[in-house]
Amino acid sequence: MPEIRLFTGWDEREAAGLHTFVQSVLEYASCPVSFTPLSSQLLQVADRNVGSNRFTWARLAIPRLCGYQGGAIFMDGADMLCRADLAALEALRDPKKAVQVVKHAYQTKNPRKYRGTSMESPNLDYERKQWASVMLINCWHLAWKGASDDLDSLQLRFIPDELIGELPIEWNWLADEHGQNRDAHILHFTAGIPAFPQHADAPHADEWFVTWERAMRATG
């Protein structure tokens, strides 16, 4: 299988989360994976205050960064843990769609996120929340040229509904909203990674800490 192009969110305030995520991806990978961390600051993209992360809008630039060619995967990454081979996700790619996502429909149980940190902010409810946190993207699709840096674009409303494919929920399991799931492929700690003290008891936090320890281990 060709190299998987994986774009992730980057915010220096949760750097431990991204390093842990990268560790988890590599531990399961059966083919080469290239990692490109993104932040709105790096791309000089407007950073409106829908979320507290500094990569909220950067994900929408991925097709342009890829020259509107080929395929890519986006995952928030910084607040996720991978538990499966991304080649299995890549195998789900549908060339008839502009993008494929887990189509969550929920209201948050956590009115505030990143509690006790400089990132703390209201955890707003809005339609299609978390759809764009894991995306299997066909960069060549013309629909992507309609992306902008507004909430409608974050909700992927610039793409006709029939061109938004659906992924199994295991590929974007919201651990702190939906609880334990030993069959989840991607664990998503939407309210805050377990490294933040007030989120250290989140479902699957023990697993996150074990992976973090492997990522930080120095060997010689």
Helices (H), 126-178: 151-154, 175-178
Out of 58-62, 68-72, 74-78, 88-92, pick the least confident. 58-62
Indicate the DSSP class of residue 2: P
CATH number at residue 98: 3.90.550.10
Average of per-residue pLDDT values in the chain: 92
- Measured between alpha carbons, how far is 88 from 184 in angstroms, rounded to an integer? 13
- How many domains, in total, are found in the chain? 1
Indicate the DSSP class of residue 71: E
- Measured between alpha carbons, how far is 182 from 171 in angstroms, rounded to an integer? 12
Helices (H), 2-47: 15-28, 40-43
The pair phi, psi for residue 191, each rounded to 5°, is -90, -15
- For 47, the token pair is 């950073």
Q: What is the band of 48 on the pLDDT scale with cuts at 50, 70, 90?
A: low
Question: 160-201, pLDDT tens digit by residue?
Answer: 999 999 999 999 999 999 999 999 999 999 999 999 999 999
Q: Which residue has the higher pLDDT, 54 or 179?
A: 179
How much is the CA Rg of the chain, to the nearest whole Å?
16
- Measured between alpha carbons, how far is 91 from 31 in angstroms, rounded to an integer? 12
Closest CA to 39 of 27, 52, 21, 23: 52
- Measured between alpha carbons, how far is 112 from 125 in angstroms, rounded to an integer? 11
Indicate the DSSP class of residue 18: H
What's the N-to-C CA distance of the chain in angstroms?
32
Q: What is the pTM of this model?
A: 0.93
Question: 119-160, pLDDT tens digit by residue?
Answer: 898 998 999 999 999 999 999 999 999 988 778 888 999 999
Closest CA to 20 of 219, 175, 171, 216: 216
- Measured between alpha carbons, how far is 134 from 178 in angstroms, rounded to an integer? 17
Domain assignment of residue 93, given as a range = 4-216
Read off the amino acid at residue 39: S
